[in-house]
Chains A and B, each alone.
Chain A
Amino acid sequence: MKKEVPIAIGFLTAVLILFEYFFKTAVPAVSKIATDATNWGSIVSAIAMGLAAANLIIIHARRIRQRHPDAWMSWVLYAGILVMLLTGFAKPKTATANIYSFFFDGLYLPLGTAMFSIMVFFIASAARRAFRARNLDAAFLLVPGLLVMLGNAPIGRLISPWFPKASSWFMNYANVAGNRAIMIGAALGMVLTGFRVILGIDRSYFGGE
C-alpha cells in the first residue's frame, strides 16, 4: 500500500503521458485525460511551493526556540514573509498596493540583483590567483576563455579584428562540438533515469522508508 500504490500511480501517469505523446489524438479520451493530468501537475506544483515556505518557517522557528545568537535575524525573515503576505493581495492603486510596491521594487528587486552582481568581484580576485595555466588542459581552457572575453567585448575588434573571429570560431565550432557531446550524454542519462523512476526501480522520492 505504502510502496506499491505510489509506484503504480507514477507508472500509470507516465504511461498516460507517453501514450498521448506517441499516439497524439488517436484516442481522444486518453489525449484529454493526459492534457488534464499535465495541467494538474501545475496545480500540485503551485501547492508544493507552500510546502517549501512552511519548511523555511519551521527551520527558523527551531533557531528561535534554540536561542541561536543570530535568532533575531530569523524574525527579520519572518517580517519579510509577513509583509508580502499582507500586501501581496492588494488591489491596484491602493495604499496597500503602494506598500507592496515599495517592498517589492524598492527592496526585493535591488537586493536580488545586487547579491548576484557581487560575484564579478570574486571573479576579478580569482583571475589573479586561481585562473592559471598549470598544464596543457588548463591552457586549453584558459586561452579560449580569454579569446571569447576579448572577442565578445566591442573593444576586442579595436585591438585586433582576429579577436571577434577567434571568439566566433570557438563559440560556433569547438563549443558546439563539446556541448553537443554533453547534451547527447545527458539526454541518454535523462531517459534512463526516467525509466528507472517509471518502473519503480528508483524510489529516492519516497523520502526514507
Chain B
Amino acid sequence: MNLATAKVWAGALCVFACYSFLWKENRFFRVFQNLYVGLAAGYSLVVNFNNVRRQAWGPLTTKGDIWVIIPMIFGIMLFARLFRKYAWIARYPMAFLMGLGSALSMKAIESDFVRQIQASLISWKGVGLGGTLNNLMLSLGTALALVYFFFTFKPNVVSNAAGRVGRWVLMLCFGAAFGSAVQGRLSLLISQMQFMLKDWLHLIS
C-alpha cells in the first residue's frame, strides 16, 4: 500500500468515526475527536514556531536587528500567566497587544460606519416603482433597523412603531442568513461524499 492509498483509507476511517456520532455517542468518535484536537494543537505549534524563527530569529541572527528582542521578550512574558504568583507579568505584553488591536479596530469608523452610512444615503427615486421601493428598503430599512437598537430615549408611539418595523427588517435579514447557513453546511456534506465516492470507492470520476 503506498502513501496516497494509505491517506485515503485513513480519511475514510475518519469519516466513519465522525458519522458514527449520528447513530449515538460512542468512544470510537471520542478517540478521533481527541486525536483531532491534538493534531490541531501540534500543527499550530509547528507553524507558529516557524513564524517566530522567520520573523524574529532570522532578522536577529542574519541582519543584526536587535529590536526584535523586544517582542520575543514580550512573548516569553506571556507564559507567566501559567504561574499564579507571577501572572501579573503577562499584563505587559497583553497591554501591548490590546493597545495595538484597539487602535487597529478604530479603522472600523471609516469602513463600517462612514462608508456604510454613505451607501445608505441614496435617492429614493429609482427606475420605476420597483426601483423606488428597493431604494426605500435600503435607506429607510437601515434607518428603521437602527431605531430598533435605540434604548436610551423614552419610548413613544412613533419610536415603538419604527422599532417594530425595524425588527421585521432584521428578521428578513436573519432569514436570508439562515438560508445561506443551510446552504453552506450542505456543501460540506456534499464535498465529504465526493471524497468517499471518488477517492475511496472510485465510483465517480
Contact = CB atoms under 8 A, between A and B. Distances in A.
State yes or no: do A and B touch (Cβ within 8 Å).
yes
Give chain A's interface secondary structure class: helix
Contacts of A118: 18-19, 21-22
26 contacts: A3-B91, A11-B99, A15-B103, A43-B55, A46-B52, A46-B75, A51-B82, A70-B30, A77-B34, A102-B10, A105-B7, A108-B39, A115-B18, A117-B189, A140-B172, A141-B171, A148-B183, A175-B177, A177-B138, A181-B142, A181-B146, A183-B116, A187-B113, A195-B102, A197-B102, A207-B91
Contacts of A21: 103, 106-107
Interface in B157-193: 166-183, 185-186, 188-189, 191-192
Interface of B: 3, 6-12, 14-15, 17-19, 21-22, 30-52, 55-56, 67-68, 70-72, 74-76, 78-79, 81-82, 87-88, 90-109, 111-113, 116-117, 119-120, 134, 137-138, 141-143, 145-146, 148-149, 166-183, 185-186, 188-189, 191-192, 195
Contacts of A114: 14-15, 17-19, 192
Interface of A: 2-3, 5-7, 9-18, 21, 36-56, 58, 70, 73-74, 76-85, 88-89, 98, 101-121, 123, 137, 140-149, 152-153, 167, 169-171, 173-188, 190-191, 193-195, 197-198, 205-208
A45 B50 CA distance: 13
Nearest to A9: B95
Given A17-B100, A152-B183, A198-B99, A140 B166 contact: no
